[in-house]
Structure 1
Amino acid sequence: MLLRKLKYSFLLLCVAFFSVGAGIKHPLHVSTTEVNFNAKDKTLEVSCKIFSDDFEAILAKLYKQKTDLSNPNMKKVMDELVKKYLLSHLQLKANGKAVAMNYIGFEIDHEATNIYLEVEKIPSVKSVEVSNTILYDMFDDQMSIVHIVKGPNRKSTKILYPEKKFTANF
């Protein structure tokens, strides 16, 4: 049943992305977050994908300034806003303890923005909890697809507003 729901969610996400590429406003408010345990480097590698138009809109609304994630001349200012927003709307716990994420950066990928973060010094992972409120302050129909990966094990779910947490145990 969960697999079917995830396939359906993935299909909806694909439709939304292709609709944006065709010049149609996307009908869904979706973001994806993946947390990958890198056993070799003892880190949690975090990546988020958010529709750029929605992300720019919330950054402009919250921080009351012009936003343009694709403008190279604004990269430094945008990095600060993206970092501030993500660190306040995405929190992780590893093995039941809150962990600090380091902001790595962002890049534009067609109509989406990919954001990268990292948690260092994680010797092993028995559980990961994600608390995700990305774009909740903009849309009350926001859906977050979350993947947590440890080696060959992948645990995924969708979080629908107003829910915000997902825990994966390994």
Structure 2
Amino acid sequence: MHLLNTKFVTIFLVFALSGIINGKKHPLHVSTTEVNFNAKDKTLEISARIFTDDFESILVKLYKQKTDLSNPALKQKMDELIKKYLTTHLQLKANGKSVALNYIGFEIDHEATNIYLEVEKIPTIKSVEVNDTILYDMFDDQMSIVHIVKASTRKSTKILYPDKTFTANF
């Protein structure tokens, strides 16, 4: 079943991105968040992938500042805005307890922005709860694809606005 879900998500994202490549606005409002438990380093490694045009639009709307994620001269300012946005729109609980997300950085990858975060000092993981409201303050048709990975076990779901929470138990 997992392989089928992964194929569906991949095909779904290819069609969404093809609209951008052909010069059209993408018809879907989707972001992807992946949480990986790194047992060796005792950390949760989090990555979020958001369409850059949508992400820049919400940053401008909320923070009323010039926003250009691809401009190296604005990198430090963009880091501040992204950190502020992500820490208020993405929260995690590990083993039932809220954890602090450490912002690592971001990079532009074609039409998407990849954002990296980390949670330290997680000796073991029995459950992970993701509360994801990325772009909810922009689109009422937002979909969040969430993957939570521990060793070879991967649990995935899609969260449709206005829902916002997914819990994986291991």
Matched ranges for 1:3-152 at <5 A: 4=4, 7-152=7-152
d(CA) in 2 for partners of 1:4 and 1:38?
25
Q: Distance in 2 between matches of 1:108 and 1:4?
A: 28
Counterpart Cα distance in 2 of 1:30 and 1:71: 24
Residues 30-80 of structure 1: CA distance to partner in whole angstroms, max 9, x if unpaired?
000000000000000000000000000000000001100000000000000
CA drift of 1:122 comes to 0.1
Aligned residue pairs total 170
- For residues 22 and 69 of structure 2, the distance between their equivalents in structure 1, rounded to whole angstroms, comes to 20
Q: What's the secondary structure of 2:76's corresponding residue? A: helix
Mapped pair 1:158 → 2:158: yes
Deviations 1:82-107 (CA, angstroms, capped at 9, x unpaired)? 00000000000000000001000000
Ranges in structure 2 where 5+ consecutive residues have no aligned partner: none
Name the stretch that deviates more: 81-90 or 17-26: 17-26
| Separation in 2, partners of 1:8, 1:42 | 31
TM-score by length of 2: 0.96
Aligned-pair identity in percent equals 75
- Pairwise CA RMSD of aligned residues? 1.3
Distance 2:8 2:141 in 1: 17
One-letter code of the match for 2:107?
A: E
How many Å separate the matches in 1 of 2:116 and 2:20? Answer: 23
* Residue identity opposite 2:163 in structure 1: E
TM-score (norm 1): 0.96
Q: Which runs of 5+ in 1 are unaligned?
A: none
